[in-house]
Structure 1
Amino acid sequence: MTAYVVMIREETSDPAEMALYREKAPLAREGHDVSAVAFYGAQDVLEGPEFEGAAILAFPDMDAARAWYDSPAYQVARQHRQAGSRTRVFLIDGV
């Protein structure tokens, strides 16, 4: 069953760290079956607090999503995202 990684960037605190994240994060997709469903496009918040942007990545299943997230390449990129922003990230099964 398709699984999704959802990232909601609440606030950027260090643009330089986020620039490093944007450089390194695409490299972490290599070797993983991942596709972008939504990627920081226009948004219209209907409920809840405003946020800067969101990305939704699709994977074949939860194991594949977790393998990408736990991969050494993404862990390197993640350090920069965490240093440069306040972001919520979660995995969710599709239907």
Structure 2
Amino acid sequence: MSAYVVFTRERTIDPAQMDQYRQKAPAARGGRDITPLAFYGRLEVLEGAPIEGAVVLQFPSMEAAREWYRSPAYQAALPHRLRGADYRVFLIEGVDGNGPDEANATASAHPTSS
């Protein structure tokens, strides 16, 4: 089942660090099956605090997304992002072909921690 890594950039702190991140992060792709679905395109915040930008990356599975995030190449880029901006990043599993009713039942059975 597909999984998605979602990045929301809340605030840029150090543009030079973000430049370093942008130079290093592409190496983490490393032949992996990653599909960018949104990449800092035009956005509109409908609820909550404003954000500067967002990225949505699709992976074949939760494990594939975790492997990418934990890869040495991404871990080499990560400190630059952490120093360069405030982000919220999360991994979410997609729904299979059974639709949102099953997804809602699964979510109810496994609530997120608060």
TM-score grouping bracket, smaller chain normalisation = over 0.9
C-alpha distance in structure 1 between counterparts of 2:44 and 2:87, whole Å? 18
Higher relative contact order (CA 8 A, sep 6+): 1
Per the alignment, residue 7 of structure 1 pairs with 7
**Which has the larger strand fraction?**
1
How far off is 1:32 after superposition? 1.2
Q: What residue ranges of structure 1 are gaps of 5+ in the alignment?
A: none
Runs of 4+ in 1 over 3 A off after TM superposition: none
2:57 aligned partner, one-letter code: L
Q: What residue ranges of structure 2 are gaps of 5+ in the alignment?
A: 96-114
C-alpha distance in structure 2 between counterparts of 1:59 and 1:34, whole Å? 5
Per the alignment, residue 35 of structure 2 pairs with 35
**What is the CA RMSD across the aligned residues, in angstroms?**
0.5
Aligned-pair identity (%): 60
1:51 aligned partner, one-letter code: I
User: What TM-score do the two structures reach when normalised by structure 2?
Assistant: 0.82
Three-state SS of the structure 2 residue aligned to 1:22 is: helix
**How many positions carry a matched residue from both structures?**
95
Per the alignment, residue 62 of structure 1 pairs with 62
Per the alignment, residue 46 of structure 1 pairs with 46
